[in-house]
Structure 1
Amino acid sequence: MAVIWTGDIDGQSVEVRSAGQSRRLYTEGVFHSQYNPRRPLTGSVWDLLMLPAFFHQQTPRRVLVLGVGGGTVIHLIEQFVDPVSITGVELHALHLSIARRHFHLNQTRAQLICADAVEWVQQYRGTPFDLVIEDLYGGVDGEPVRSVAANAGWFKALLRLVSDDGTLVMNFTDREQLQRAAYFTNQSVARRFANSFALTTPGFENQVAAFLRYPSNGQQLRTRLRRQPGLDYQRANCPLNFRIRRLRQVGSG
């Protein structure tokens, strides 16, 4: 895999690597994004961040992505979900520049905002979003580190931005980190959701949690995916490979 660009952000190394049509973004050795215009599905964690859009009976109209990186999720959302609007918030202007130049994000209709996502969420007073995807991570010694704890305060701040029939999606590095989230420790957080699920993919420890403010289930998700061109995971040429399980709320049996 060839290195086609190098730089740094606040003393942390940043690289863009290529292999054929694929582009990969690394920050301090942490693999942040991957994009191939001929094969947008990655068969990896980024697909999982997009899939909860299909819990909705209707297509989510407004989507917010916190943590743009190279823009993999934005490409997936635009191609397969096709909402009315996509807003992406990214801390580093250099990441946005790289995403536009090397990952074709300039060819999407997403509104990209350079800001601290935590501050932006706390200050936002606009129309809520039908789908909020939170993927806020940095890197330390080549390992991903969550930028903000998934405590009750952060859940409640995010919930202000989620519509009454919307979905909150959060990426966790592993099952242990997910179990420490306020959803499992705080009843006032858990009762704000009608259903919640964790999505995983083989070869990765990540747990992508989908917190729904409306009734749905895994079978409905799978049925809708099979109806979507390119997302029928039962076809041999579809790289989607995921598992789903229901999460139990605080106080449930």
Structure 2
Amino acid sequence: MAIAWQKEVNGTYYQVRTAGSSVRLYTDGVFHSQYNQRTKISGGIWDLLMIPAFLHRPQELKRILVLGVGGGAVLRMFLDHFSPESITGIELNPTHIRVARKFFGLNNRKIELVEQDAVTWLKLYKGPPFDLVIDDLFGEQDGEPIRAVEADIHWGKLVSKNLSASGLLICNFLSRKEICQSGFSKLFFNDEKFKSAWIFENHRYDNQIAVFSGLNTVLSDLYEQIKQISKSNSALRLSCKNFTVNKLKCRHAT
């Protein structure tokens, strides 16, 4: 891959690489984001932060909040495949925001990128709830990705408070154990917020994507919407063949 841009900022090394229509962001060697401008998908784990949204009708997802922008691949895919009124992205790293705007095409009037800590921003937020919240808050330690915010019950309640009653939450985890120990799972199994919960996986990655909905979602709706939208996008159709989805089941979740 060709190096399109690289810079060291406060001891952190950033690099944007390109290959054909594909753009990648690396931060200290950790692969943060990928997007393909031709196929309109990432071709990686980030697809699974967008695909579960088809559990809901696209027209229901008007207000979207993304916690952890990275290079912006997820925001870009929602622009390409949905019709949101607004997408708000919260990102602590100012260099990531600059890269997202310059290389991932996030200079769009529907997108607001905010440079702030996600926990602080949510605590101070006083606006209307969101129809979709994506929690992709990751950092790195010794060259490996780690969650930047512990998904405990306090975080679960803070996020869900800013989600509409019928809203959808998509959260990136590194293991099933993390999901079952999370505050989101506790809210689901205690019937405090969510009516359905799923786990999406791609066999090529260790990540587990937890999906919680205020609606009684069914997989037939997901597959039908994927079938329709992927008719004209062979890359999306292929990506949709690479995931498995199951209902969330945990022992001692409460």
TM-score with structure 2 setting the length: 0.90
Q: 2:99 maps to what in 1?
A: 98
**1:167–1:187 Cα change, 3 Å:** closer
Task: Give the CA RMSD over aligned residues.
Answer: 2.3
Question: What pairs up with 1:168-247 in 2 under 5 angstroms?
Answer: 168-184=169-185, 191-229=192-230, 238-240=238-240, 241-247=242-248
Task: Give the Å deviation of 1:191.
Answer: 3.2
**Separation in structure 2 between the aligned mates of residue 40 and residue 49 of structure 1, nearest angstrom:** 14
Q: 2:146 maps to what in 1?
A: 145
**1:123–1:19 Cα change, 3 Å:** same
SS of the aligned residue for 1:228 comes to helix
SS of the aligned residue for 1:148 comes to coil
Question: What pairs up with 1:150-161 in 2 under 5 angstroms?
Answer: 150-161=151-162
Letter in structure 2 aligned against 1:204: Y
Kept in 1, the 8 Å contact 2:188–2:195? The answer is: no
Unmatched 5+ residue regions in structure 1?
Answer: none
**Separation in structure 2 between the aligned mates of residue 85 and residue 123 of structure 1, nearest angstrom:** 19
Q: Does 1:48 align with 2:29?
A: no
Mean Cα displacement is larger for which, 54-63 or 93-102?
54-63
Letter in structure 1 aligned against 2:78: I
Task: Give the Å deviation of 1:250.
Answer: 6.9
Unmatched 5+ residue regions in structure 2?
Answer: none
**Separation in structure 1 between the aligned mates of residue 216 and residue 232 of structure 2, nearest angstrom:** 22
Letter in structure 1 aligned against 2:80: Q
| 1:9-68 CA-partner distances (Å, limit 9, x unpaired) | 442221111112211001122111011211222232111111222111343111111111
Kept in 1, the 8 Å contact 2:187–2:194? The answer is: no
Letter in structure 2 aligned against 1:203: R
**Separation in structure 2 between the aligned mates of residue 97 and residue 187 of structure 1, nearest angstrom:** 37
| 1:147-194 CA-partner distances (Å, limit 9, x unpaired) | 010100000000111000101111002223223212445678653110
**Separation in structure 2 between the aligned mates of residue 35 and residue 187 of structure 1, nearest angstrom:** 32
Q: Does 1:21 align with 2:48?
A: no
Kept in 2, the 8 Å contact 1:53–1:59? The answer is: no
Q: 1:165 maps to what in 2?
A: 166
Kept in 2, the 8 Å contact 1:29–1:141? The answer is: no
TM-score with structure 1 setting the length: 0.90
Q: Does 1:130 align with 2:131?
A: yes
Task: Give the Å deviation of 1:202.
Answer: 2.1
**Separation in structure 2 between the aligned mates of residue 143 and residue 161 of structure 1, nearest angstrom:** 30
Q: Does 1:6 align with 2:6?
A: yes
**Separation in structure 1 between the aligned mates of residue 4 and residue 71 of structure 2, nearest angstrom:** 14
The total of aligned residue pairs comes to: 251
Task: Give the Å deviation of 1:144.
Answer: 0.3
**1:81–1:97 Cα change, 3 Å:** same
**1:197–1:9 Cα change, 3 Å:** farther
**1:177–1:8 Cα change, 3 Å:** farther
**Separation in structure 2 between the aligned mates of residue 186 and residue 56 of structure 1, nearest angstrom:** 20
**Separation in structure 1 between the aligned mates of residue 236 and residue 104 of structure 2, nearest angstrom:** 27
SS of the aligned residue for 2:203 comes to coil
Kept in 2, the 8 Å contact 1:90–1:117? The answer is: yes
Kept in 1, the 8 Å contact 2:39–2:233? The answer is: no
Mean Cα displacement is larger for which, 145-154 or 93-102?
93-102
Kept in 1, the 8 Å contact 2:157–2:183? The answer is: no
**1:45–1:61 Cα change, 3 Å:** same
Q: Percent identity?
A: 38
**Separation in structure 2 between the aligned mates of residue 33 and residue 22 of structure 1, nearest angstrom:** 10
Kept in 1, the 8 Å contact 2:180–2:250? The answer is: no
**1:190–1:14 Cα change, 3 Å:** farther
